[in-house]
Amino acid sequence: MEPGHLHAESVAYARELRELYRAAEQRAVRFRLLVEMGHDLVNARDLDGLLKLALVRATTFSGYERGSVFLRSPDGMLVERARIGDELTPESQLSTDLLHAIRVSHSVLRAIQISEPMILSTTPEASSEHRISHVYLPLISSNGQPLGMLLLLNPATIHQPDRDDLEALHLLAAQLATAIQSVQHHEDESTLVARLSEREQQLEELFDRLIGAQEEERRRIAYELHDGLGQMMLGALQQLHILADLYRPRSPRARSALDRAVEMVQASVTETRRVIAGLRPTVLDDFGLVQAIHMQVSSLRNEGWEITYTENLGEQRLPATLEATLFRICQEALTNIRKHARTTQAEICIERHSSRVELRIQDHGCGFSTQPTTAMSEPGSHVGLLGIQERVRLWSGNYRIESQLGQGTCIWVTLPLSSETPPEHHT
């Protein structure tokens, strides 16, 4: 083989190797772009930052000067959400280019649903000399719905992406579409959580106002009973005592009737005072839940009840609304025992834990069946229990009742403690 011919073959072979090396380098660049982009997009949690990052990657890889990301609005229109390269182009020219590109992108969206990337070289209406190269990269969701468009802009005289470059950009756009879906889903979840938290806060505030309004209404009624009906009953009792002293009836029947009238009015005064104390015991406002329940227990003991009371609430008082709720639950449970249990033996235990307060009220009375039944029960026999359940539900607490015929009834109530009222620790 002649030396000249051998030299020519060597040069051709060297050129081929150089081309292969350059192609390998380009493939490595594309692969590195996709890997880096995938890594960055996976870690992105902010939509604006994600779009800006995608534009930086896309313009760096393609060599294009400017780029924008358009996303579909709820009404289906394309809205520009991110832009890069403004500093490289006069504002007037940039505005003209973008307006023209948006018109074209809308046309593409309507015509072919943007399923493949496109390269267009067009002339804006405002200038016949300024030609622009547009690279349209569709952003398609995982279920095939168009999310928007990644648009790259550059003077048409500069080298445009080849088929391999366009394929790499298309893969980048696919990664971006997946990341957009992920970020939007994360933002939707965050928005939902924020709304739920706000709604929960509103419900808590409403609940506090409701409890406060109920207690204020009870206080008002108690004062009116005390200053109105209570004073009238007390005055009537005093007048009956005066009548009995000044005009003592002679006949046994008349004396018995007068004594009976005095006893009935006296019992009415006592009952009125009990109702007033039950509506709003001042000790609950002044000294807290522990003393308020203790007064209830002392009153029942004075009536002959055998009742035990244990508490472990610490020295720090509970929130006023929580104290009022626990007091009403205890009050309702004791009223149920008085009316239906046919016993005067009971136990009350209330304890404070790190995140909750537990209340247990147990009696040793007749009990009842907790199984659903179609038989007619005693009128009003379960109204108190329903009231307790409703109070617990409003506090998002837990309620449990156990009862059997002839073996008494036990009620467990657990209410959550807010973070503002940490428990006291004592040694």
CATH number of the domain residue 97 falls in: 3.30.450.40
Last residue of a domain, which of 156, 184, 212? 184
Residue matched to tokens 């190797």: 17
Q: Output the pLDDT for position 356.
A: 93
pLDDT at 1: 53
User: Quick one: pLDDT at residue 106?
Assistant: 54
Quote the pLDDT of residue 141: 83
The whole-number pLDDT of residue 139 equals: 85
In a domain, 13, yes or no: no
Q: What percent of the chain has pLDDT over 70?
A: 73
Task: Give the domain range for residue 338.
Answer: 281-427
Please give the span between the terminal C-alpha atoms of the chain, in angstroms, as a whole number: 104
Residue 250's pLDDT is what? 82
Does some domain include residue 262?
Answer: no
Domain count, the chain: 2
What CATH number corresponds to the domain at position 414?
Answer: 3.30.565.10
pLDDT tens profile 303-314:
999 999 999 998
Residue 137 lies in a domain: yes
Tell whether 12 is covered by a domain.
Answer: no
Nearest of 339, 340, 328, 230 to residue 279 by alpha carbon: 328
Residue 130 lies in a domain: yes
Boundary residue ending a domain (184, 215, 241): 184
In a domain, 162, yes or no: yes
In a domain, 386, yes or no: yes
Give the model's pLDDT for residue 310: 95
φ, ψ at 345 (rounded to 5°)? -110, 125
Q: Is 202 exposed, middle or buried (0-12, 13-18, 19+ CB in 10 A)?
A: exposed
The pLDDT value given to residue 179: 85
**Residue 103: how many CB atoms within 10 A of its CB?**
13
Same domain flag for 22 and 164: yes
| Residues 289 and 394 grouped into a single domain | yes
Statement to judge: residues 173 and 25 lie in one domain: yes
Q: Are residues 168 and 292 in the same domain?
A: no
Chain segment 125-179, per-residue pLDDT in tens: 544 455 677 788 888 888 888 888 888 887 755 666 777 778 888 888 888 888 8
The answer to whether residues 300 and 164 belong to one domain is: no
Residues of the chain with pLDDT under 70: 1-31, 33-34, 37-38, 40-44, 86-131, 156-160, 280, 372-383, 418-427
| The pLDDT of residue 230 | 84
- Both 159 and 291 in one domain: the answer is no
Q: Which of 166, 184, 202 is the last residue of a domain?
A: 184
User: Beta partners for 146?
Assistant: 140
Query: Same domain for 64 and 170?
Result: yes
Whether 303 is in a domain gets the answer yes
Say if residue 295 is in the same domain as residue 404: yes
Cα 306 to chain centroid, rounded: 45
Residues 26 and 139 both lie in one domain: yes
